[in-house]
Structure 1
Amino acid sequence: MDFQENFLQSVWKYQYFDKNGLQTTDGTPLSIIKIGYHNFYEGPDFLESQIHLGNIDYYGHVEIHRKSSDWKNHDHNNDERYNSVVLHVVWDDDKPILRKDGTTIPTLVLKGKVLLDVIRNYERLLNGEGELLCASGLDFIPDIIRFSTLEKSLVERLEIKAKLILDLLEECNMDWEETCFRWLMNAFGFKTNSESMLHLSRLVSFKTLKKHSGNSLIIQAMLLGQAGLIPPSINDDYGQLLQREYDFYHKKYGFGNAMHPSEWKFMGVRPGNFPTLRIVQVAEIIAKNPSLLSGVLHETSSISNFKKFFSIQIPEYWQHHYQIDKPSNRNLPKSLSNQTINLLLINFVVPLWFAYGKYIQDNGWQEKCFDLLQEMEPEENFIIRKFNACNWNPKTAFDTQGMIGQFHNYCKPKKCLDCKVGQNLLKPSKK
């Protein structure tokens, strides 16, 4: 049988083996009192376990390996944390093992004891086709398990984004307003240009930009100029005006070196997602909402409020140009699309709320995130289509965000036994 170590960890965690007449490799009778709790960090696999060995109760940790020799292969014999291991659980006992202090470790061999149903279910799961190995068994998974799976993946996804925001907060000397601006810029990069937009946000502070709230032209000039997206030679009047404004404010505020145009991605990007247009859109939002952080946290309690918050009028020039001095053959949108606003809610607002709640230690913000996502329509992308093909159809953005997290963190790396769906498919049938 071919399996990974996490299979044995699941077998131990859920006790999927025959416990009648258990003995260690030296013939000592063994009873399991407490399996311990699963440790996902460094150190033994299960902590604070309790076993009855012979006539003595032992309290300590349990370590799981495919082979006994893995103890030495993983260098546990030189790690004092493993001196408290009271039971070594293995599939094959191929070598006697000692702790660092030289004492023998009681060993339980699972080979021949694991329930046949569990082995079959594991093999069936591993032999699944496509990137969702559980596809053939999803119809048998209860709705509550599916919901719990997506909720866990969603929270993990938000935790990752919250860490990015809190790291930005430290970078901004605990200035939440500046952090909010930088996260907004990151979101407006829409993955392809996120890092470049974040770089730009470090070159022009929000404190400087909001001094010119109400005048989007000046904000455009400062951002586009520092982005390196105002060409040196311009023929049209608007572009020349942007250049003059940028030259003036560059000297006034003592801006550092601008970015190089090569730092921006245009190739393979839809024209409507060109960084020039996204920067202009950010400029309009800042011009309209100088109290950016307060607006996001306190004045936007519903989707309709958010649509008002992001309701901007794109300047006439940018309704006919993708880039400065390069007219478009067709008219461009006059405002942000509903799809763009929804993406901003998901990728800008919700993570910011989640991070802010963690910062002030208020779980109510997490509930606000969930409530907002459950009000929103499900997203459509290549990952969601994979779940739809398996008849796991999302109803809201709560589901789709959970699915995206699930796919990247569990399905793609094939961590099925760390997933509640995979764990459910592993368990033996009831008799």
Structure 2
Amino acid sequence: MIKEIEVVEERLIFQDYILFIIIFLCTYFNWGVWSTVTSFLPLLKLMGAPLLCFILSFYLFSHSLMRNYRTLYQPLHLLIIIASFWTFFKLFQTIQTTGFNAAFTVYRRNYIVLPSFLLCMPYISAMSIQRLEKFGGLILKWIIPLTILYVLQCCGIPLFSSNITYQTSGEVTVLRNILGMPPVLPVILAFCFVCYLKLHEKRFLKFVLIALFVTFISFTRSLIASAAFVVTLAMLFYIWKNGMHSRLFMLVFYVLLATMLLMIIYPSAFYFWDNLIDNTLNSQLAKNQGTYAFRQRLIEKVIIKLENHDDILTGLGYVRDVAKGKYSFVLGGDTYIAPILWCEGFIGLILRCLPFVYLLWSGFKLYSHSLDEMEEVIGIVILACVLSEIPNYVQSSVIMHYNHVMGMLYMLLVYAYKRRNEID
């Protein structure tokens, strides 16, 4: 008599929760959220979220080294190794001129996140299919309570920042505070959107509506534009390969129904968006004014300064652009193109972009050549998430915060690889 083989269900282990902190919470803790959460832990507050991310990533790397884990997708691994070593080279070069404290103070703010992701790659590559699925489920579970907290914040309760700000457009005033928004929202939106269409699973619909709702009440043009690009690209890729289906029309119906309910509950929001978009298109962009133009001018200003210093390829290293106490784009988050050019030059910028070119190539292969439904979903998600960042290049954070979109998309790539090769 042949005994049935008992399938042991794998659970998330301690190291998986460390990875969750790195990929989800460390990027969720932008400086406003971080100040609130760590107000009772001075040492952690002084450390900062990017440095915590690196320390935890080093722990995972040590764990992987002891167990001889191998990194999948060697071309991508090599590209990120080269980009990370360029940052280390610029750091050591800067230390020689400004000293360790001054150089590392700049480097640890955001630039250290790239090598942090490199340290995580072997561990992510070794995760089983079951644990990868549970990890994704953990992120989706966290989105719901975080959305509730975000809505409370948008109602005027200062959960993530004491500076509650109001913005007026066309005599309509709304409360605007983007602190506390889940950082992987574009990936979640794309993944749940395509899963609902392709896999016919209605449980993903609520996450699509949640992501669109949170983006809408952020009253931030770049976020609403990114969401629009993600949805449009995902829909076009889906239609191109699968054609028009009733599920697509049902999804549009649900979104329109939710929009109508929101118009009844919160009509001033729509008037605000109408005024804001009209002002953006017909005034700011037409006359080269506003925040988009400001960020473009920062990039242009950096290029001019680098040309004057004859350092346009290699950058000036991890040095401040202004004295302490003044506005600094090197340490700020208005744009990430300008600080990368300032510190690492065009070499650093190109090296940071090349892994996303590889992602596009991998996503297109999954999308165009795979017969597996989930692999096609992953391919569409990768293509939509990466391509949607291009129009908003002046404000995109993916080339700086590698444990953000890149971390999630790499996990999807690993999941597709293991499904294809039945390695779990």
TM-score range relative to shorter protein:
under 0.3
Greater helix proportion: 2
Structure number having the greater strand percentage: 1
Larger CA Rg, structure 1 vs 2: 1
Q: Report the TM-score when normalising by structure 2.
A: 0.24
